[in-house]
Amino acid sequence: MGVVMMTMWCGFVIAEELIYRYHISTPEAIYRIREIEFYYNSHDYQDPTVYGIIQAKHKNGLGIHRHKKRQSSQFTWFIHYSGIDIVFGEGETPAGILIRAVERIGKNSFADEYIDGPLVVLLELMNQSTSVFDSAPFQLRLVDAKRT
């Protein structure tokens, strides 16, 4: 099995784990992950749309970075212009999982609510009623679905 095929297979395993075994927890709610999209870039599989790789051109032809440099720490959140990713690649093989849709469940939720669209998901997850004076830090975490 080639590197690209092995990477794709691992992606399906990760997708299954995320969708069936984990939820996203915020101070106000729990969210079931409903739709994700993978991004991956390597020497064998070049994807210029991966954040940190993409560049825009000015009228004078000089390249500029459109986006801040991609975070390279594995299993961290990466917030960008299009939404929020979970980073799982590193170094020369940046990779991420864009959260495209979630479902608000439990914790202060009157009815399950489907939130669709990567930027809408980001805004939902980040717009919590956490006081700027609260001593506890805002936490956005993956939690075991069996415990929520």
Summarize pLDDT for 115-129 with one digit per residue, the tens: 999 999 999 999 887
Alpha carbons 144 and 12: distance in angstroms, whole number: 19
- Residue 112 sits at the vertex; the CA angle it makes with 111 and 117, to the nearest 5 degrees, is 135
Q: Considering only CA atoms, which of 83, 70, 104, 88 is closest in space to residue 14?
A: 88
Q: What is the pLDDT of residue 55?
A: 47
Q: Are 74 and 88 in contact (CB under 8 A)?
A: yes
Mean pLDDT (whole number) for 73-89: 86
Residue ranges of domains in the chain: 3-131+139-147
Q: Using alpha carbons, list the distances in angstroms from residue 9 to 46, 50, 68, 119.
A: 17, 19, 29, 27
pTM recorded for the entire structure: 0.78
